Structures are given as structure tokens and as C-alpha cells.
Structure 1
């Protein structure tokens, strides 16, 4: 009979159960992106709000997620993956650039990926902050990935003889920390500047450090 589940095939209305679950999950994530990133925010959203926005029931929510925090965690990974994908796509175009132009090219690509959708910006730099130890670990793990990526790019430039070799980890950590801090403050309205001004300020911080002579160590 049409509309009945066939246990052996796991189908309902001709659609596999896995396909229906994936669609429901995407509807919850789309609703979370809107409510957390553009609406009242994560802390002001309840499961009933999210379910209503997704056009689904709370029962269906708990079939896909245990808590609202799970939705925020999934969205945080997704928006970071989007920014990372933009940077990786920009790598071939930076292959023949000098280190300064290469860093500028890649950081502008990152900025496009991280800020092209304002909802992504808010989730990545604001909503994720201080939610729980679990999400703090996830956020710091993703920050560590960006630090390692930047160190890898600078180490490769040093290996090619384009810049002086040194330990770039402090520079990379300071820069990525500045990106997160300034983007947070800009997103919540504590910094009166355009997005382009914020991006250029961050870029000049990085390029200024790369172009500065190495600091003398202790004698």
C-alpha cells in the first residue's frame, strides 16, 4: 500500500529512510543557521522554536540531535569547512606569488569564506563563544588547524628561501587570535568599522610582522 513503510527496504512513500532522515537533518540545520546566525541567537532559541522554524516536530528533532548544542556544533564545523574550502580553492592562484602577496591572497580568500554569509560570521565568532567546555574544545581545535595551516605556508616560503626561517608558531597564533577577537568585536558592534576595514587591518598586522626584521633573542 502506498505510504506504508516496507521494513526490509526501509522505505516510506518510495523514499529510503536514510534519505528522509538526511533531509530532516538539513532542515533543522537550515533553521539553526537562521535562528542562531540571524535571529534571536543560540541562547534565546528553544527546541520548540527550532522545530517550528524547520517545519518539523520536536519528536523528529530528538531523532536527529540530542540537544540544541549539537546543532550549533554541527553548524560551527560547517561554516569553518566552508571557509577552509575557500582558502584551499585559492591556493593554486597563489602558487607563483611572493610571500606577502600570497598571504594577502589567501587571507582575503579566507575572509570571503568566513564573512560571505553574515550568519556564518556570527556563528563562527560570536555564538560559539562560552557555550560549554565541549564547544570550547571544538573551537580551539579549529583554531589550531588554522594556526598549523599558516605555519605550513610560512615554513614552505622559508624553505624556498623567500623569507628567513624561524619558528612561526607565535606569529601564527597571535594573528589567528587577533582574527577571532576582532571579528567577534566587529560582529557584536563593539568596533565601528566596515568589514573591508576590519579585513585590511588584520591583513596589515600579518604582513607587517612578516616584513619586520627578526627580533633579537636574549643575549
Structure 2
């Protein structure tokens, strides 16, 4: 994710690059550091305003008041409210993916425990601070083609993680998972700009049916968990974290029985906690 204010990029006409921002120290900070500091204040303000007031009802003056900065400084870092919303969304998505990946890559956890931890990371991150869920699940929807593309890519990244979990719970560990996901469970990395690890299914692969089943199931599961979280936000049941986590984990365990049946790796029955 790009967390650098656009006026530090040399490609932006009429604005100084990182190498040309200069001036005297103020409060012990270089000019470029002050620009970054103001940028971060606007990111925090965006999370607060978009996550509570909502994007459609927000105004630049409100964002500036929340950040404690003037409109001059808003336009130092952003072209528009949508530009700020985009950066806020990418910040939230990146932070969430980093937490999910860290849980999946825990070297001391067994696979099923790592998967449960990754689901807990999603549910707690989104509902522990309902502003996150409001922005990710409500505020960015339908704003622009660019944001829709970013949203789809982020969803695909999470589907990649879910597909890896399905294959592991379905008894297809090690090289098979790496072959399909380009590195294995938790290997996709963070950031909504990174490409998801799901590779196109080769119809001639001996496990092509298994891979396609896992891919489609993972996509549907991500949508289902998203809707559970959206229901919690809209319905005011964000404190229902444990039950949502239980249902999400049972969904992936139940789905893994289909993987086992197709792959011949075990009985076609739901995995237990």
C-alpha cells in the first residue's frame, strides 16, 4: 500500500519530490517528515469521519477539523475526499491482511489453530473497531470504478488465504498447497495491491476438480463472512464476536469435508474443533 503523501512523488506535476522537499527544522522534524505527519493525521481523521459520519455525509472542512489542520494541508496530500477514502481503505486492508498472515504463519501453531487465529484476526479487527467494518463493508461500495477494483482485489486476496486454509484442512498440505497458491498458506503477503496467490486452475492437473472446488468455495466463504460482519454492523450486534467466529470456523471446517471427499484424503464429514 502506498502510504506516502502524493506531494512526495516526483510524478505529480508542480509538486516537490521527496528529494526536493527542504527547509528548516520545526519541532525537530524535517519538512518531509512534517508532511508525512500531517498525512497520518488525515488518515486518522478519515477513519474517524468516514467510519462514523459516513463518506457521503462528510466534508473536507469536517476532515480538516478532525485532523486539526487547514484545508491547505489537506490538498498538500490529497486531490479529493475520494483520494483520502482510497488511502484509508488501503491502510485498513493492509493492516488486516498483515494480522491474518501473521496468524497463519505462526511457526508454533498447528494448522487448525493458525486458521482459527486468522479468522479471529478478521472478526476482532473488523468488529473490535466498528469503524473498520463500516468503511470496508459500507462506505467504499459503489463510489468509483477504481475503488471497486481495489475492493475486488482485496476480496480475492482474502479468498486466496481462505483457499489455502481449505486445502490444508482438506488434507492437502505441503507442496500441493504451494503449487496452487504460489508459496502456501499465509504466503500472499499484505496489502490490497499485492496479487492474490490463487493461480488459474489447469484443467489437466490431476487435482483440477479439487482446486476449482476449493477456489469457488473460498470465494463464497469470504462473501459469507463479510455479510455476517455487515449484519453485525447494521444490526448493532458487533459484540457478538465469539458466535460469529464460531460460525465462520465451522463454515470452513464443513467446506473442507468436500475437499477431502474429492481428493480422497479422508471421510466426507465436517472437521471438529
> What TM-score results when the alignment is normalised by the length of structure 1?
0.81
Aligned residues: 207
- The structure with the largest helix share of the pair is 1
Q: Does 1:130 align with 2:142?
A: yes
Change beyond 3 A, Cα 1:169–1:162: closer
- 1:149-206 CA-partner distances (Å, limit 9, x unpaired): 222344455144999x611101110101112222122211287982322222222222
Say if 1:28 and 1:50, in contact at 8 Å, map to a contact too.
yes
Change beyond 3 A, Cα 1:192–1:73: closer
Q: Does 1:150 align with 2:162?
A: yes
Q: Does 1:200 align with 2:213?
A: no
Structure 1 residue runs without a partner (length 5+): 1-6
SS in 1 for 2:235: coil
Give matches, 1:101-180, under 5 Å. Answer: 101-155=113-167, 157-160=171-174, 166-167=210-211, 168-180=214-226
Q: Does 1:17 align with 2:31?
A: yes
Say if 1:31 and 1:54, in contact at 8 Å, map to a contact too.
yes
Deviation at 1:45, TM superposition (A): 0.4
Instruction: Please give the root-mean-square deviation of Cα atoms over the aligned residues, in Å.
Output: 2.9
> What corresponds to 2:15 in structure 1?
none
Q: Does 1:63 align with 2:63?
A: no
> What corresponds to 2:7 in structure 1?
none
Say if 1:87 and 1:110, in contact at 8 Å, map to a contact too.
yes
Deviation at 1:11, TM superposition (A): 2.6
Say if 1:94 and 1:106, in contact at 8 Å, map to a contact too.
no
CA distance in 2 between counterparts of 1:211 and 1:102 reads 18
Give matches, 1:57-96, under 5 Å. Answer: 57-93=70-106
> What corresponds to 1:31 in structure 2?
45
Q: Does 1:183 align with 2:229?
A: yes
- 1:3-26 CA-partner distances (Å, limit 9, x unpaired): xxxx99423535311111011111
Moved over 6 A (4+): 190-193
> What TM-score results when the alignment is normalised by the length of structure 2?
0.66
Deviation at 1:122, TM superposition (A): 1.5
Say if 2:105 and 2:114, in contact at 8 Å, map to a contact too.
no
> What corresponds to 1:54 in structure 2?
67
Deviation at 1:63, TM superposition (A): 1.1
